[in-house]
Amino acid sequence: MRRKLYKSRRGQISTEIMYAVGVMIMIFLLLTGISFNRRSELRKMDDYLQKRNECLKISNTLASLTSAGFNTRAVVTVYNKVWIFNTGRITVDPSLSGSEETPCTFVGNIDTRQFTAGQDYLELTGDGRPYCFFNTNEKISIYDVDDVVTILVGGFPVPINCIDLCAITDSYLLSLGLQACA
Question: What are the residues facing 144 on neighbouring strands?
Answer: 131
What is the pLDDT confidence band of residue 180, given thresholds at 50, 70 and 90?
Answer: very low
pLDDT of residue 78: 92
What is the pLDDT confidence band of residue 9, given thresholds at 50, 70 and 90?
Answer: low
pLDDT of residue 155: 74
What is the arithmetic mean of pLDDT over 15-26? 88
* SS (HEC) of 58-91: HHHHHHHHHHHCCCEEEEEEECCCEEEECCCEEE
Q: How many CB atoms are located within 10 Å of the residue 123 CB?
A: 14
Per the CB < 8 A criterion, the answer to whether 102 and 93 are in contact is yes
What is the arithmetic mean of pLDDT over 140-150? 81
Per the CB < 8 A criterion, the answer to whether 154 and 125 are in contact is no
